[in-house]
Amino acid sequence: MPIRILCIESSTDVCSVALFADGELTGIKEADKINSHAEILAVLIDQLMKENQIPFSALSAVAVSTGPGSYTSLRVGLSTAKGICYAGGLPLIGLPTDQILISGQIQTAVAQHCTCIIGMIDARRMEAYTTVYDVKKHTFTDSTPTLLDENPFTELETNHSRIALCGNGAEKYYQICQKDIYILLDVKTTSRWMGALAHERFTSRSFDDVAYITPVYIKPPNITESKKKMW
């Protein structure tokens, strides 16, 4: 039996689900509708499974993006993944959103002679959660909040001659940096790029605890008190 993994990516405005068999993409459904993950995620999963004629009992695992990203959509994605795992007794694989984003674009970056890739997930205003991948060392840095208008990558510019930018925060920085050293890759994070990472985790039996896994927010949510008098 092939290793079938349902992948859920809900960290940004794009709601994306995909099916993989032995690491190969067999089906994908996506919707780009802001603030609609709670409404459409289960629908997309149902459509994907039916169109590919795969019952949930045939799944080997569920993989889900864990952040950073949108607070609400991350919770929706993880809650849905947990529900499927609990119902079917399936293992859960949590994948960092920034690694999903970068892993899907490494080949493109290398083809354009980049030795460094910066994954940038929008954190609103002039800030992004950034992760740096060194192509030669095959290493990821931890995701950190970065102010984009303070020339944050000076050291990288010194050590690399060509740097790729990707993610929904990358276009914002690309427009203001105005340096030839940077090239802009895909700005969308998608479940299409989760297959290889999820398959590797499955074969190494590296699973997350369904009960205790939580989204990686990095920063606390920006919650303000209502000024309306409740009584």
Classify 88 in phi/psi space as left (phi over 0), alpha (psi -120 to 50) or beta: alpha
Domain of residue 165 covers: 106-184
What's the pLDDT score for residue 1?
Answer: 86
How does pLDDT run across 85-127, given as a tens digit for each residue?
999 999 999 999 999 999 999 999 999 999 999 999 998 888 9
Q: Is residue 179 domain-shared with residue 199, that is, in the same domain?
A: no
226, part of any domain: no
Q: Which residue has the higher pLDDT, 231 or 121?
A: 121
Residue 77 main-chain phi, psi, to 5 deg:
-65, -45
Is 226 a residue whose pLDDT tops 50?
A: no
Instruction: Say how far residue 31 (Cα) sits from the centre of its chain.
Output: 15
231, part of any domain: no
* Average pLDDT estimate for 18-34: 94
Q: Is residue 22 domain-shared with residue 55, that is, in the same domain?
A: yes
**CATH of residue 133:** 3.30.420.40
Q: How far apart are CA 56 and CA 220, in angstroms?
A: 35
Q: How far apart are CA 100 and CA 201, in angstroms?
A: 13
Percent of the chain at pLDDT > 70 equals 94
Q: Strand locations in the chain, DSSP E?
A: 4-9, 14-21, 24-32, 61-65, 92-95, 116-122, 127-134, 139-140, 144-147, 163-166, 182-184
Average pLDDT, the chain: 92
On whether the pTM is more than 0.85, the answer is yes
Contact 18, 48 (CB under 8 A): yes
Q: Is residue 133 domain-shared with residue 53, that is, in the same domain?
A: no
Q: Is residue 81 domain-shared with residue 194, that is, in the same domain?
A: yes
Is 182 a residue whose pLDDT tops 70?
A: yes
Q: Is residue 88 domain-shared with residue 165, that is, in the same domain?
A: no
Q: Find tokens 């039916």 and name the residue.
A: 50
What's the pLDDT score for residue 149?
Answer: 84
Q: Is residue 115 domain-shared with residue 175, that is, in the same domain?
A: yes
Is 224 a residue whose pLDDT tops 50?
A: no
What's the pLDDT score for residue 34?
Answer: 76
Is 205 a residue whose pLDDT tops 80?
A: yes
Q: How many domains does the chain have?
A: 2
Q: Is residue 11 domain-shared with residue 89, that is, in the same domain?
A: yes
What's the pLDDT score for residue 173?
Answer: 92
Which pLDDT band, with edges at 50, 70 and 90, does 221 fall under? low
Question: Please, which residues have CB within 8 angstroms of residue 186's CB and are 6 or more apart in sequence?
Answer: 104, 105, 108, 166
Indicate the SS3 state at residue 6. Answer: strand
Q: Is residue 126 domain-shared with residue 151, that is, in the same domain?
A: yes
How does pLDDT run across 139-163, given as a tens digit for each residue?
999 999 999 987 899 999 999 999 9
47, part of any domain: yes
Is 228 a residue whose pLDDT tops 80?
A: no
Is 79 a residue whose pLDDT tops 90?
A: yes
